[in-house]
Structure 1
Amino acid sequence: IRVLLSEPGDLEKFVEFCGVVGLRAPTRGRRIDATGLEKFFAQRRVDRLTGWMKSLDWPVAFQVAALLHNGLLNTQEIESIRPIITQLSNKSAEHTGDTLRLFTEKTRSQTSFRQPLELLDELVNYRASNQPRRTPPAGHFFCSHVTITPTRMLLEGPYITQSNRVIRKYDQFKDHFIRVEFREENRQKYRWEREVDVLEFLTSRVGAKLKGGVDVAGRRFSFVAYSPSALRNHSLWFVCEEGFRPPVQILKELGNFSATTNQPAKRAARMGVSTNACYVPQCTKASFQQAFSATQPSIKVSKDQIVEIPDITGPHNNPARPPHVFTDGIGTISPKLRDRICEALSISTKPDAFQVRCAGLKGVFVVDHQLEGKIMCPRPSMKKFLPLDESEDAEIEIVRAFDKPGRSFLNRPLVMVLEDRGVKTEGFLELFNDAVADARTAHDSVDQFVAVLQKHRLGIPYRLDQTLLKLKALGLVLRTGQDQESLDTDFLARVRLCVIKHILRDIRHSARIPIPGSYQLVGVADEGQAYINAGKENVFTLRQGQIYACIQDPSDAEPQWLQGTCVISRSPVVHPGDVQRVYAIGKPPENQLCAFARLKNVVVFASRGTLPLANCLGGDGHVTRLFITEQVDPTEYDAREPYTLDRPVTLDDICDFVVEYIHSDVVGLVADTHIIIADASSDGTLDRRCLELAKMHSQAVDYLKNGIPVDIRRMPRRLIPFKPDWHEAEDESSHPCDYYRSNRALGHMYRTKLDEDRETLAHVEVDSYGDSISQVVQQRVNGYPLAQASHQEQRNVLRIVETIFKRYQDELRYICMTHSLTDAADDCLREEEVIASTILAKCSQKGWRKDRLHRMRECATHLVQETRRDLIGDLEVAPSEEVRNGLHKAWAAWQQSINHRAENSTELFGTQSFGWLALGAVLDCLENLGVINRK
């Protein structure tokens, strides 16, 4: 437990009470008087250090500030290394900043204390022959991160981050932008408590930073904007205007956002704001979120290539309400323009739909094969703001390309709703048991292991599935068989354990269970009615209650048309009506003009009827093949008018909105209360309290757009003061008496014994060093000897490979240290966790691990791409001779990893994953040379 003491004498009282009740007295640490004799943090000393940091280039200054603010070094210790930092910085600020970044990690993780100067000297000498190459890939940049807690300011990174329109516009000034997160002391999100009103604290701590700025390394950073997904994580963009420009000027240069001048939430969502001193009427708030959303730049289009078309609307039967819009946020794009985008982004499988940002437009563009030329056709419902100069070419920014179907999984809310809609517990248990058994087949064969990896999207940064399939093509198997060599190693077996534990944990604690024959698809509209309105004849259109879906994975030879009764649901599921039964029409008739006949990997909704199905559901559709015996009508909540001021919005209003949002961010709390009450009630999700919570959940989701918070004090209370057993935290921090035995399907699945923490390597025979792999692959490599390679050249290759490995090892260690779930010096991710794309440590707040895991995968992906480029270059454009050179360099890297493992009694960190990375590069070269044929 953690005990907080408020008075100086409380510690002595606590020790006394421990003796009274028979508890061991707490261990006393060394007392540190920060303002005593040494005066480490006297204002004069801090000011002198801040002045020095201000004189340094940003990459160096940020790392020095991290040493101070993260509590790794005090001011005196930083002064001791100041001369060497200044000397290094004068040579190369980028190299010095990178060296200090690794020095920060080594200082935090050292098990026995060493003098900072000694440790830095050692690292500088080591890095002198190991120049860093941290080059961000296209559409990304390195961004510094600041976390502000109630008592601390923590500095991390810089981390690889996907760029956005603003960063690309001011590419030369990208170091002026930082990400700032507001968190609890344990680095988790602020959580609403019924008994505590934290608004006053948030106003003073968070609001003060938003309005007054954040000082980092002698520089003042001011709040500028946020994206919707970032604000949900309480993360914002700040900018340093010194040597650049103030936030108001940045916003003014992005577009004309005058439509929401008086609405704080929409103005923050389209974000163009004014300061108290200077009001900027043409900037509004909803579209600056759009400008700061992470996107991938593709191509530019001229004004003539953007042709607006009208929305398809339903009948206007209710004068008090506008007619329903069937094409809300949906536009069309010609095949030729789609092909140009794919060419620019090197997309081999051409998608039929993109999520796009372009010239103030936001939404999904779907290929219309009736369109000629290279044009895109947006609709009025997609327009969020106007560009400042409509005559300029506009860049098409891609948020997502829907080039393959997503896999659909159950989750706890969906299980609860489906059970109330008639699905039996036995059906869920069958899927549960199948999912558990399927995960454990990862030990059985290469095909099974690859299928598990691909189904759960694991091992992607290291392209582990592709490496395994190529080894299989060379005749290797997972289990040793007759006349067949095994590719298994002790490390690969540990990776499989990580994969299995990750999947079993998700199954037990989130009910994340694959649904066979189901898909997650983006919803689009049937354009047939637009064809009819344009005067075309013999047009086939969907009727209300019908959908169209054609599925084709890039690996599938033939497409699959879904036909028959299906179930489609929104994400997330809250109301029973969020799950609807529909009819999939299969392949459209060939004797009629059909707008969607050639579309794949989307779900098409009807554009006629009383209510758009997309409005009933919202979000991406999940098409499933579960049979439901009862039907519940979808709910429709009245749209709430955005909160509007009687004056123009100022920057202070936006700051107040952010504070209020953090205080009132209760989407998760409402959803959690909903499912707990549903479990305890005999009416399940149809309980009146649950229906009220479903309405509150809809309001909470819309809060970002309309600025109207949920009155959480009106939230229905739980029926009993206990929670169902399946709700118990995975870190076992709660007391068993707080839970009851649930009789719902979730309870039965939760109590099914999985023993995910007891998964072992029993009965798995492995090769410790991968000798079988070496023997089989070397036969192929020897077929491409290097021409006239002298011993000196061979030694040079080995030196290059050793340098590449050292860089890889440093970066991998940094990733493992900075993405653990705690700040403890000994808490570090294992190598096999990174290659498997998981974090196995238990955590009471799933969102925290999810955030860390997402960033870890991004960093690992960049590290792998950079290391592969160092080894083999770009195989898509490399001539044959360069491919051969890369082949031998990568082969030397694989052999070196084998030798490291054989020569050291203890496993050298990084050698295992580096070896598998190098092996994948070798196999890619062999495939490029025609040696490997997987067909």
Structure 2
Amino acid sequence: MDCILTNNIRVAFREFLAFFYRHRIQICFAGSITEYIKPRSDYVERPIFNSFIKNYSWQMLLSIGYLFQQRVTQQFIDYLKTVEIDNIFYQITLHMWRRAKEYHFLDIDGELMKHVKRLEEIGQEKRAAPTHVTSLTNPPPNKAYAPSVTLTPTTICVKPFKLVKTNRTIREPKLGGSLNFCLVEIREETGEALLASHFSTLRGKFENYLKYGFKLTNDRLYRHLHHSQSQLKEKQYWFYWHDEKNKTNLSFEDAYKWMGDFAQERVVAKHSARIAQCFTSSDATIRVPTQMTEVIDDVERNGYIFTDGVGTCSTQLRDEICQKMGFRRKFSVMQIRYGGCKGTVSVNPNLDYTEKQLILRKSMHKFISTHDVLELCKISAPRPLHLNRQAIALLESRLIPHSTFLLLQNQHLLWLVESLLYLPSTYELLNERLSQQFQLRDLMLTAHLDLIHEPFFRQLITTICKLEIKRIQDKTRIQMSKNCGRNLFGIVDETAILQYGQVFVQYTELDTEQLDDSTRRNGGRGYRREEVKHVVVGKIVVTKNPCHHPGDLRTFEAVDVPQLRHLVDCIVFPQNGKRPHPNEISGSDLDGDEYAVYWHPDIMPTTENFAPYEYDSQEKPKKLDREVTRDDITHTVLDISEQDALGRLSNLHLAFTDKFSIRHPAAIKLASAISEEVDAGKTGKHPLTDDEIGELSRKLDNERADFFNRPKQFDLYASSNAIGILFRAIRRSEPGWDKINRCLHTKTTVGLIQSSHISAHLHVDPFLIHPLSNLYRNEAEELFKLYHDQISDIMYVYHFHSEIDLICKFDSQQQTMSKQFDIADSAQLELGHLINRIKSLFNDCQLQNHHSFKCSCDECDQHRMARASACYIVTYGQQNAKKILSFAWLFSSWLVKLRRMNLEKQKLLTPPSNYSLVGQAFLHSFLLLVENQALRYLVDFNTNSNKHTCLLHFNFDVRMKKSINKRVHLMQWAMLEITTGWLDRQDIFSIKKHASKTSARPTILLRTWKHIAAQFLFDKYRPKTCSRLLLVQNRFVSKEQITVTHDNGTTVTLGLPQFASSPSISSFSSISNWWSDEMACKLYKLLLNLTAQCSRTHPLSSSSERMDMAHLNEYLTLGLLSIAAENEFGNITWH
């Protein structure tokens, strides 16, 4: 009876937890509670501290709620009053804030004393100068720490200070600095974006906040000042405090006057957008006096402005800016804010040594301002490009075949898979995606560390792969070849040479840094190759995000114009013609819009451009007959925030496009509406009401394509279009990735992908142990605790699940919820400063041999290696479930020296094999084929004049009236046997029928594989003969004979070749030399070559044949994924 009752309780408890997980309600487990702390019945004093930072920090603690307020003691407050330094005070309260939110049964006094003791032991006296904690008053250049508050339907929640990029207003000394500002965002109680229906209900409450503000501390009332345009879409605003008593900063009225004169703009939304220019995140560069500037007319024709938002500057001015900002690469285009002007400026050498160094156009001028510091928003640079769902749908409408997209996605997948198999690919992935905190090349080449299997770096690799796969699945974000497409600023041809339909594109070659790149190695740290530039000539594709109308993707002719060769990493449009090309593409201009430019030959449409949409014909916003007031702005801001429907409209457009077509009237209507919605922040006009959006949605009968991946919300159908095919393909890789992640990662019932814990005991590398490490054990433990606490603070503030997610810039929960793409960057900056502080502590601590800090003698180096070794031992000896492993590798330079020294002592200087994983998997697969007598091809070893080759027999060729055979290397034959055996086990071959486009498990015609295999052996394109050449043994009858079934259904019984009946691989005298690292390398490259054959389709191939080859390419890539997951050529797990 007790067992039944216990089981019932267990089941009920699981259901109870599942309810909370489904509704994303946080659950806190108390663990073992040794002492019950009763709720307080009395109240402690409400302290007022002697600085704003301290009072703010106290409010942050109070925002935790009653769980903190009911447990705070007078002893706790009394101790805080003794802390004199603001930064130390904030560090302590930040730690307490995190711990109290993590653990609701926290002993507050005990935790405070434990943390303070740790700071003191590491050398952090509470009254000493805070050299190793976050300095709120000394942030990185062009960054600032600002108060941060979240307004929810029920609370004003004070958050930790947020590191933000500055803008003109925050930088202005007259406004008193960043602590006088407060970043305010409106969110649901869970932190997610507020639904439009909820916002409408609570509009009055939020209107009061915007009009009257709120008290952040006893003496500071913060009121709404303004926002940037991007913040407006995210319901994020800047509030401001004016010190009315001491008049130390400008009042609200004076602040607006300082910003500029906006009185001439009578359209409320545009008036608000003009003020928003002062709040655009930017970097201050140099003063450019008005005497050095000139405003010129725009090029206008047929009611269009061909130079809308673009000016020029001299190379001298550009070089001054580069010197001021420390840029090594000299850019060609910069997006700027200057006074009341906004837009882009391109370099013009003809302005050198002239009086006017900065030429602006009238279209750039938005309001009157005397501010003369040129501010940088963004500069031109080599920026790789990805395909996305919108671009794929438009390219598909231009008849780009589905197989092309699948092959591009397969290439992306293969790049990720190789990082788990091949050490040079591992280096490429980590070097490209991580900041330069870890000395990857030295760890691999000097210390001979196998990063694929080292626990910390393995987590980094799998997390990066996980993020990439998630983006492909959710957004069809497919990586393009670096030198086949770019994101480029658009500018105008100042020479007027380009004609309508022509563009100029010159790009900087992006080379992938290789592990064994001796030129970079010998060049030392910071070495840069001379940049190689290429001018694109020929047909190119240009579009822009968002792009929804069929005319938003256009083909142009890229030409070489010598007079424009000083312009790099941008696209130059003509000023000639009937209409500006940027305006034809999503109604764009040249004030900072970036264009997706492709010149990849496989995605080049052969159809004519669709007629562009007439975006300028949309209804113009109404002007007031009076000056705009703050109440007008508040009303418009609330309207825009309440009705923001861009995401809903984009999803509806995607649904109509898939179910009907991109040219369906409803899809065209939605494309127009999306364009208007994008500009709603400047016009104040929303194109469709909620009722109209709902009416459009109902036309879909609650049906959505499977790639929407919302089975609980919609009735899903298998899409036959490109995005659906790609979605199902990437889902076929999920079981393989799940196997890889299983030992390191788990998924919660909430469904969020989370980095979890390494549960197993970590193996300590004996080559990273130094005999003197025990001398530094205590010091290492204290340093580790400090790092653990502070990186945990960063993770909690920015909502990262683990250190791995933080280091890899994996989407934080907050970023996912609010779509704020600067969160990961802010967190990375915080992490960088923490790492520098920890390294400084490591280097500044006295060595046990008592030599000076800067001493570099051999003995001191030994002690530094010992200290690094102690840090490594402490890190990998953790007993916590959630381990912090990055700490050890902050000192990788010393670990490299230590490991190299220990390897040399034992004369173990052979680097780890680059191909051991793949080689062992191939060997195992081949041995199984031999021992099971499952070899498929007719081979002859008796007539072998070369012991490393064999004679491979093909079908009888009727036209040539003879049998064909070819002598091939044993490795080619072995690779063919291995891959054919593996493919056959996957049960993917079909004899006569091509797979349906909507199949979850597409089959491949057997003759397609025969064609690819023959092509692989002959290395020639023989589309009409290759598919008939190779003879496959389909079924063994006995050890002496086989029955072969031809494509036409006829069968023939043949004698088994001598080797196929042999029970052991030892029949070959040369086999002992096969499975060396060199052999594994060659086999691996042969498999990659075989996989590449699938992408080399013949022009005469049908679309079904091309899809067969693309799926074959995909399956071979999944085969490699199975090696990464299971260390063998395992079978695909099908959904």
Report if TM-score (shorter chain) is over 0.5: yes
Are positions 1:142 and 2:120 aligned together?
no
Please tell me whether residue 380 in structure 1 is matched to residue 362 in structure 2.
yes
Bigger shift: residues 374-383 or 417-426: 374-383
TM-score (norm 2): 0.64
Query: What is the letter of the counterpart of residue 524 of structure 1?
Result: I
Which deviates the most, 915-924 or 648-657?
915-924
| Matched letter for residue 205 of structure 1 | K
Partner of 1:295: 282
- Kindly state the Cα deviation for residue 65 of structure 1 after the two structures are TM-superposed: 1.5
Tell me whether 1:636 sits opposite 2:601 in the alignment.
no
Correspondence for 2:374 = 396
Note the C-alpha offset of 1:892: 6.3
In the TM superposition, residue 527 of structure 1 has moved relative to its aligned partner by: 0.9
- Say if 1:551 and 1:561, in contact at 8 Å, map to a contact too: no
Query: Cα–Cα, structure 1 residues 64 and 906, in superposed 2: closer, same or farther, change >3 Å?
Result: closer
Cα deviation code 1:758-787 (max 9, x no counterpart): 0417999x9966849859xx9xxx9xxxxx
Shift of 1:799: 8.6
Q: Contact 2:64–2:101 (CA<8 Å) still a contact in 1? A: no
2:111 equivalent to 1:119 = yes
In the other structure, the counterpart of 1:674 is 653
Does 2:465 correspond to 1:495?
no
State the match for 1:754 in structure 2.
733
Q: Where do residues 514-593 of structure 1 align in structure 2 (5 Å cutoff)?
A: 514-516=479-481, 517-529=484-496, 540-553=497-510, 557-585=531-559, 587-589=560-562
CA distance 1:361–1:23, shift in 2 (3 Å): closer
Q: Do the aligned partners of residues 685 and 898 (structure 1) sit closer, same or farther apart at CA in structure 2, a change above 3 Å counting?
A: same
| CA positional deviation for 1:344 | 1.1
Q: Partner residue of 2:95?
A: 102
Aligned to 1:601: 569
CA distance in 1, matches of 2:763, 2:362: 62
* C-alpha displacement of 1:248: 2.2
Q: Hey, what does 2:207 align to over in structure 1?
A: 207
Kept in 2: contact 1:265–1:643 (CA 8 A): no
Counterpart of 1:231?
Answer: 232
Aligned to 2:680: 703
Residue in 1 that maps onto 2:518 = none
Deviation, structure 1 residue 867 = 4.5
Separation of aligned partners in 1, 2:861 and 2:670: 60
Q: 1:632 to 1:463 in 2, by over 3 A?
A: farther
Contact 1:471 1:487 in 2 (8 A): no
Moved more, 251-260 or 664-673: 251-260
SS of 1:895 mapped into structure 2: helix
Write the mapping of 1:455-854 to structure 2, written as runs, cut at 5 A: 458-460=433-435, 462-463=436-437, 467-472=439-444, 474=446, 476=448, 478=450, 488-516=453-481, 517-529=484-496, 540-553=497-510, 557-585=531-559, 587-589=560-562, 594=563, 596-617=564-585, 618=588, 619-624=593-598, 625=600, 626-630=603-607, 631-637=609-615, 638=617, 640-681=619-660, 684-712=661-689, 713-715=691-693, 717-718=696-697, 719-729=699-709, 734-735=711-712, 738-752=715-729, 753-755=732-734, 758-760=738-740, 771=765, 805-820=784-799, 829-839=801-811, 847-848=818-819, 853-854=824-825
Uncovered stretches (5+) of structure 1, i.e. residues with no partner:
1-17, 31-37, 272-288, 318-322, 479-485, 530-539, 783-790, 821-827, 874-880, 925-935
Partner of 1:362, secondary structure, is: strand
- State yes or no: 1:161 paired with 2:158: no
Distance 1:57 1:890, change over 3 A: farther
Name which of structure 1's ranges 222-231 and 437-446 shifts more when overlaid on structure 2: 437-446
Aligned pairs (5 A) from 1:219-298: 219-242=220-243, 243=246, 244-260=249-265, 262-271=266-275, 289-298=276-285
Structure 1 position 227, deviation (Å): 0.7
Secondary structure at the counterpart of residue 280 of structure 2: coil
Shift of the alpha carbon at 1:871? Answer: 6.0
Q: What CA distance in whole angstroms lies between the structure 2 residues aligned with 1:760 and 1:25?
A: 26
- Tell me, in whole angstroms, the C-alpha distance in 2 between the residues paired with 1:507 and 1:849: 20
Determine the structure 2 residue equivalent to 1:327. Answer: 307
Measured at CA, do residues 772 and 558 of structure 1 come closer, stay the same or move farther in structure 2, by a change above 3 Å? farther
1:174 alignment counterpart = 178
Amino acid at match of 2:230: S
1:914 aligned to 2:887?
yes
Change (3 A) 1:307 1:201: same
Structure-2 change in CA distance of 1:160 and 1:759 (3 Å): farther
* Inter-CA distance 868–361: structure 2 relative to 1 (3 Å threshold): farther
- Look up the equivalent residue of 2:267 and give its one-letter code: Q
What percentage of residue pairs aligned between the two structures are identical?
A: 21
Q: Which amino acid aligns with 1:549?
A: Q
State the secondary structure of the residue aligned to 1:259. Answer: coil
Change in 2 beyond 3 A, CA 1:399/1:795? farther
8 Å CA contact 2:506–2:565 kept in 1: the answer is no
- Quote the Cα distance in structure 2 between the aligned partners of 1:469 and 1:524: 39
1:570 CA displacement: 0.8
Give, in whole Å, the separation in 2 of the partners of 1:333 and 1:138.
25
Q: Give how far 1:81 is off.
A: 4.9
After TM superposition, list the pairs within 5 Å mapping 1:884-899 onto structure 2. Answer: 894-899=868-873
Report the CA distance between 1:650 and its aligned residue.
Answer: 1.5
1: distance between equivalents of 2:149 and 2:71?
A: 22
1:222-244 residue CA offsets vs partner (Å, 9 max, x unmatched): 00010111112111000122354
1:257/1:386 contact within 8 Å kept: yes
Query: What letter corresponds to residue 405 of structure 2 in structure 1?
Result: F
**DSSP-derived class of the 1:180 partner:** strand
Shift of 1:362: 1.3
**Runs of 5+ consecutive residues of structure 2 not aligned to the other structure:** 1-10, 29-37, 125-129, 511-527, 745-759, 845-852, 898-1135
In 1, the alpha carbon distance for the partners of 2:284 and 2:856 equals: 33
C-alpha deviation, 1:923, in angstroms: 8.3
Distance in 1 of aligned mates of 2:831 and 2:229: 25
- The structure-2 alpha-carbon separation of the partners of 1:426 and 1:796, relative to structure 1 and needing over 3 Å to count, comes to same
Residue from 407, 420, 424 that aligns with 1:430: 407
Stretch of structure 1 that moved more, 652-661 or 370-379:
370-379
Measure the CA separation in 2 of the matches of 1:24 and 1:302.
65
Q: 1:723 to 1:750 in 2, by over 3 A?
A: farther
* Aligned-partner SS, 1:188: coil
Distance 1:907 1:763 in 2: 13
Distance 2:114 2:63 in 1: 23
Change over 3 Å in CA distance of 1:24–1:858 after alignment to 2: closer
The 1:840–1:338 alpha-carbon spacing in structure 2 relative to 1, beyond 3 Å, is closer
Q: Is 1:901 matched with 2:860?
A: no
Q: Secondary structure at the match of 1:138?
A: coil
Cα distance between partner residues in 2 of 1:199 and 1:434: 44
C-alpha separation between the residues in 2 aligned to 1:690 and 1:509? 21
1:672-695 C-alpha deviation (Å, 9 max, x unpaired): 1111111111xx111101111111
Greater RCO (CA < 8 Å, at least 6 residues apart) = 1
2:349 and 2:411 mapped to 1: Cα distance? Answer: 41
What amino acid is aligned across from residue 647 of structure 1 in structure 2? R
* TM-score of the superposed pair, with normalisation by structure 1: 0.77
Larger Cα-atom Rg: 2
